[in-house]
Structure 1
Amino acid sequence: MLDNAVAVTPAPTPLLRSPSFVRLWTGTMASGVATWALPFILGLAVLDRSLTGVGLGVLLATRTVGFVAAMPVAGVLADRYSRRKTVLWSGLTAALATPVMAMSLERSLLVAAAAAFVMGAGQGACRPAFQALTAEVVAEPQRQQANAAITLAVRVTTLVAPTLTALLAVAVSTPVLLWGVGALWLVAALVPPPGNDSPPPSTTRPNILADFVDGLREARRHPWFVAGLAALTAVIATGYSATFVVLPLVSRDRFGSEAVLAAAMTTYTIGALVGAMIIARWRPRAQGWSALAGLALYGLVPLSLLLPVNPVVIFAAYVLAGIGIELFNVPWFTATQREVEPAKLARVSSLDFLLSYGLAPVGLALIAPAIDQFGATVVLAVCAVVCFAAPAAAAVVPSSRGFSASHGKSNARLQ
């Protein structure tokens, strides 16, 4: 009887009972909150006159330059050596730069800008490494749930953190708040667990550019990735940028206060929370098409700002956009971790962040002159069309249906 018994595979450990995932989740959340908090705290510094508006622009710009400059290099290093060590050193870099900014904020804009550059480099370096480390720590069947849990935590924090930070600002100074950001970066650096499958150090030591180009070739092997990344970049460069520029103007000129601006951003975050909760358990058959449809929902935002509608319609558009962006983000990250060759995952992830979020400021820089030249109505209409059309065009690529190879076989299964 025992000889005929069927072996039963034990159920995987629930994610929140896995010490390794809890450590990964904590570190990733800390890095996300630290990334979000810096612009908000620097905005408070402008309000208390410890920083000028020009200084704020300089610090945010130099942080973005550091982010973009570090991203491709960090992807190569995380693939060539260890994802965990890349997370460690990038987090420590940002953590050490934060108190330098805090101490120089009212003394030297040049020193503060240099610190902002280093902080941006640390932020950019940790993003692809965290993506690859997630694939090492979490088994493939649980990665979608893991990615949803991570983004859910960041969204919850960004929803409640502005109020908490504003309350803290009443009791403590801006430099103290910046020291708190440094503490978050320390958590991001020290808490995450070691990975299981970090690649061994390279013996040939090719140059960084050659390694990055090799990552580009890996990305091109996945048509769904190229198409999806093009769609995501188009939506962020047009829809995100236009609404960040136009929403404050609509709130002020059409409705006479900043209340619509604050409420719209809050409803967007609430929508993202809902989207993360939905996608944590929902497994649509055509996962790629569902994700791209979610991305296209952002087109409702410029459309709502274009039309003379009640503020409730604008809030509804932001809720749907928030839901849609997580219906895209979580399957997108999960598919990348599943389909891309593990030894090149960090480089492909760095390309993802570099083109989508890293270059978003370029869209912001171009939108304002476009509005001055053609008017907000024309710009918003074009942006809405792009937000709907770009994901639709990406969906035409055959492998986009499931964010997978044409026969549904991932690299993880083939190896």
Structure 2
Amino acid sequence: MSAPAGPATATVAKLSAHPRFVRVWASQSAGAVADQILPVAFALYAVQRGAGVGTIAVIFAGRAIALVLCLLAGGILADRVSRPRILFTADVLRTGIVVGTLLALDDLPLAALGIVTALSGVAESLSRPAMRSMVPALLPADLLERGNAMVSAVQRSATLLGALAGAAVVTAIGIHAALGLAALLFATGALAVLGIPDAAAGTRAPSGVLADAAAGIATVRHRPWVAAVMAAVAVQLFAGTAPSLTLLPLVAAERLGGELAYGLVLAAAAGGALPAIALAGRWRPRRPGTVSMLALTSYAALPASLALALPLPVTAICFAVGGFVVEIYFIYWLSALQRAIPTEVLGKTLALDQLSAFALLPVGYALTGPAVAAFGVRPTLLAAAVLTAAASAVTLLVPGVSTFSDPTGKATSGAAGRDG
């Protein structure tokens, strides 16, 4: 069909007219590949050395804990200092962390890899709020969905490539080569944003750190629909993501075909996001919240596929469905926040969004091992699937969730001077 080619070409043409956006987009693409290489490489390396559920959980939990502890600080920084400078600094830090790990890897105990992922997570905590709060300053409002879709498209493509590359490089060459590739990509990301001016410079009013944090919390508190969605996503990561990511490398080694199968399943999740990106970039539903939260109930397919001992192709399809529904939600949700939240508190609010999402993730990692020991793998994963689906559905009972906006006539005009 030739019809879609026109709009797609028009989208590229419009976005390419904003070169600063394109440079940030390219920088984050390189980082997305490296971000995916690291956990895949570490997990496979740990399995090769005979690690069990507990060690793998520690590796994944390091990043989650760092995000929980540092995201709000990253959001406050994003609203106080140059956002391009934050992106540059974060990539330089991650480059140094990976190079240091590469040089010392042979002498590191496996548990120390959790510290490495935590240090990388600290740098990620700086870049996430800065990147997402930059987009409204780089693009006009009518291009937000398309811009966010294009960012997600290249990041998800990079994630797919990173998952496959991480598994393939570790399997064929070794973890040292995988870490070297990740360091090179982080350095490339830093160079891509070097010299980009801060579009928000001069618009930030000076204030104290505690006042900044309070302003971000007030922004969420005065919008119950925002708080409800944040809570639902926190439960989803706790119940859906933590047990699935912890048990997947072990399940892959036992019955799916080994290391490459692990990379294939992760790549399927990233690949499943690509059609969602194309859809969300063009389709603006009247009730994006209803579409998003109902779609997210299907994220239960991840733990369910592992619980039911499905063959590799079906498991990969289930993870692809998970990637699809997460991306549908993410693009509509992020665009809604970028429209609804004033720029002076946008970084903090986006940081709180990410913070709330990751708040329960370390708990999920910590509880996966004991739950498996007490109840077994299958009951743990089935319970996770039920909780994951229920968490999204119940949010639609909260006014404003269905449209991802303040209910009509309840725009909370007193929300801290539009939250300031």
TM-score of the pair, normalised by structure 2: 0.82
Structure 1 pair 62–365 and aligned structure 2 pair: CA distance change class (3 A): closer
Which structure is richer in relative contact order (CA contacts within 8 A, separation 6 or more)? Answer: 2
* Equivalent-residue separation in structure 2 for 1:97 and 1:344 (angstroms): 30
- 1:231 aligns to 2:244 (yes or no): no
Structure 1 pair 155–65 and aligned structure 2 pair: CA distance change class (3 A): same
Contact 1:237 1:360 in 2 (8 A): yes
* 2:66 aligned partner, one-letter code: G
Of all paired residues, the percent bearing the same amino acid is 26
Structure 1 pair 251–403 and aligned structure 2 pair: CA distance change class (3 A): same
* Equivalent-residue separation in structure 1 for 2:358 and 2:217 (angstroms): 17
**1:33 matched to which residue of 2?**
33
- 1:319 aligns to 2:327 (yes or no): no
**2:291 matched to which residue of 1?**
290
* Structure 1 range deviating more: 262-271 or 316-325: 262-271
Between the two proteins, the alignment pairs up a number of residues equal to 399
Which whole-Å deviations, capped at 9, do the CAs of 1:230-273 have from their partners, x for residues lacking one?
A: 111111110222333454565566x5744865554343222112
Which whole-Å deviations, capped at 9, do the CAs of 1:63-110 have from their partners, x for residues lacking one?
A: 444333321111111112222222222222222333222222224569
* Structure 1 range deviating more: 73-82 or 124-133: 73-82
Give the C-alpha shift of residue 129 in structure 1. Answer: 0.8
Matches within 5 A, 1:96-115: 96-107=96-107
* 1:99 aligned partner, one-letter code: V
Contact 1:298 1:325 in 2 (8 A): yes
Which whole-Å deviations, capped at 9, do the CAs of 1:386-411 have from their partners, x for residues lacking one?
A: 22221111111121111112239999
Structure 1 pair 24–217 and aligned structure 2 pair: CA distance change class (3 A): same
Contact 1:338 1:410 in 2 (8 A): no
* 1:138 aligned partner, one-letter code: L
Matches within 5 A, 1:250-265: 255=255, 257-258=257-258, 263-265=264-266
Contact 1:31 1:123 in 2 (8 A): no
**1:125 matched to which residue of 2?**
126
Contact 2:41 2:178 in 1 (8 A): yes
**1:197 matched to which residue of 2?**
200
* Equivalent-residue separation in structure 2 for 1:308 and 1:43 (angstroms): 21
Q: Calculate the aligned-residue CA RMSD, in Å.
A: 3.5
Structure 1 pair 315–165 and aligned structure 2 pair: CA distance change class (3 A): closer
Which whole-Å deviations, capped at 9, do the CAs of 1:299-348 have from their partners, x for residues lacking one?
A: 23334444476665544433322211111111111111111121111111
Contact 1:67 1:122 in 2 (8 A): no
**2:7 matched to which residue of 1?**
none
- 1:71 aligns to 2:74 (yes or no): no
TM-score of the pair, normalised by structure 1: 0.83
Contact 2:163 2:264 in 1 (8 A): no
Contact 1:339 1:410 in 2 (8 A): no
Structure 1 pair 107–202 and aligned structure 2 pair: CA distance change class (3 A): farther
Give the C-alpha shift of residue 215 in structure 1. Answer: 0.7
SS at match of 2:326: helix
- 1:343 aligns to 2:366 (yes or no): no
Larger radius of gyration: 1
**2:183 matched to which residue of 1?**
182
SS at match of 1:105: helix
Structure 2: state its 5+ residue gaps: 1-10
Matches within 5 A, 1:30-179: 30-43=30-43, 45-46=45-46, 61-107=61-107, 116-165=117-166, 168=169, 174-179=175-180
* 1:338 aligned partner, one-letter code: R
* Equivalent-residue separation in structure 2 for 1:241 and 1:370 (angstroms): 12
**2:22 matched to which residue of 1?**
22
Structure 1: state its 5+ residue gaps: 1-10
Which whole-Å deviations, capped at 9, do the CAs of 1:333-370 have from their partners, x for residues lacking one?
A: 11111111211111111111122136423212212312
